[in-house]
Amino acid sequence: MKPKWLYDSESYREKSDKRVKKIAKQTGGRLTPNSGATPFSKGDISYPNDLVEHKMTTKQSYKLHRADLHKIYSEAIREAKEPVFMIDFGDIALVGHVQKIHLK
């Protein structure tokens, strides 16, 4: 039996990039060059007031790390935008605003 990577012509990164592009186009967002891997522009999709970090999975679950939320939070605040985190399962997505909570 051949391994999946041998006959799967499209990489996971290519699939994710296509998905982000489609979401940005349908929702009026602007794609961030190289998915935010540049020093001057962060996040995956940018809107006038929001900066979105998009994570896609083909699995049944997604392990969310605290560091992921802190990352998009600090990047969005630097750009004076609201931080938004999206977990995309293909047929359904979780989209939420990220905010720091100061409890006493």
- Kindly give the pairing relationship between strand 50-56 and strand 30-31: unpaired
Predicted confidence (pLDDT) per residue in 79-96, tens digit: 999 999 999 999 999 999
pLDDT at residue 2 greater than cutoff 70: no
Ordered structural domains, the chain, with CATH: 11-97 (3.40.1350)
3-state class (DSSP) for residue 86: strand
In sequence order, what are the beta bridge partners of 82?
Answer: 50
Percentage of residues in the chain having pLDDT higher than 90: 62
Instruction: Identify which of 62, 58, 54, 57 has the alpha carbon closest to the alpha carbon of residue 26.
Output: 54
Query: For residues 89 and 74, what is the distance between their CA atoms, to the nearest angstrom?
Result: 25
Query: For the whole prediction, is pTM greater than 0.85?
Result: no
pLDDT at residue 38 greater than cutoff 80: no
Predicted confidence (pLDDT) per residue in 3-35, tens digit: 665 666 778 788 888 889 999 999 999 998 766
